[in-house]
Amino acid sequence: MNSESHSERSALLFGLAAVLLWSTVATAFKLTLQQFSPIQMLFVASLVSVVVLFIVCAIRGSLSQITSTFFSNPLYFILLGLINPLGYYLILFKAYDLLPASQAQPLNYSWAITLALMAAVFLGQKIRPQDWFACLLGYLGVLVIATKGDLFALSFDSPLGVGLALLSTLLWAGYWILNAKNKADPIIVVLLGFLVSLPFSATLAWYEGLSWAGVDIHGWLAVSYVGIFEMGITFVLWLTALKKTSNTARVSNLIFLSPFISLILLSQIIGETIYISTIIGLLLILGGLAVQQLKFKTSSVRTNTN
């Protein structure tokens, strides 16, 4: 096996590992929220993530970059940290608290469609006709999931939960737009975000005043799992996969497996009912994402004039 094929195989294995781990986090969210409030969950999971990412940076020999990276543009990194993880995860966890995970998770997948619209506004990128069609498919899927297929009644189990799930997509897309021209080590950037947000989430958890006494070992394991695999090590696996491959699209397409695996786990472990409308809505959202990735070939006719 030559080095190139070995690198591609490694990329697919790293990418698949990341996707499989991300597929479990919706279940972990719901298990954690049985014992923690969204604010408590954010604080503890963030603390775990800081420890994990510090260990990763130590192994990579990049600890010395943390301070210099932050002070190269402190206001920028403070803003990033307030958006993600503080704002994004706090809102996302509250959405999961109000909605079945089988609804919240597919709704969150519409962030990439939101990103295309925000990139046009803030980065001046052109919106192609296929992007508009992708938006139509994606947000039709959102509506199908949110209304359980009863589009004309426009009746939502939790309007606030649906609104928060969609708001989280704005924050996540906004985070990546702010990151578009950032040349810093992405793992350092993620770690700085958690370091910035940690004092805020700790203060919010203290102000909320909820007791920690009722949390058993299962709760602590669940929240630690979220911190390690949703916010920490899985991001490193995904970046490694993208770095190793020469075909980014092939690795990126693995992410389409995640929501379906997640729904199976939610059904089998949490016991959530998976509605046919959720499947249809998810297919519409993923169809929109697939349309966004299409590259149409244009043929040009050259006219010679004598």
- The pLDDT assigned to 3 comes to 64
- SS3 for 137-152 is HHHHHHHHHHCCCCCC
Cα distance between the two ends of the chain:
55
- The pLDDT assigned to 279 comes to 93
- The pLDDT assigned to 299 comes to 39
At 215, the amino acid letter reads V
- The pLDDT assigned to 291 comes to 84
- The pLDDT assigned to 226 comes to 95
Distances (CA, A) of 99 to 17, 198, 230: 27, 26, 19
pTM for the structure as a whole? 0.87
Mean pLDDT by 10 residues, the chain (306 residues): 72 88 93 96 96 94 95 95 95 95 88 81 81 88 85 75 92 87 88 96 94 92 94 84 75 79 93 92 89 59 40
- The pLDDT assigned to 66 comes to 96
Instruction: DSSP for 191-238, please give it.
Output: HHHHHHHHHHHHHHHHHHT--STT--HHHHHHHHHIIIIITTHHHHHH
Q: Between the CA atoms of 51, 36, 215 and 157, what dihedral angle is there, to the nearest 10 degrees?
A: -140
- The pLDDT assigned to 254 comes to 78
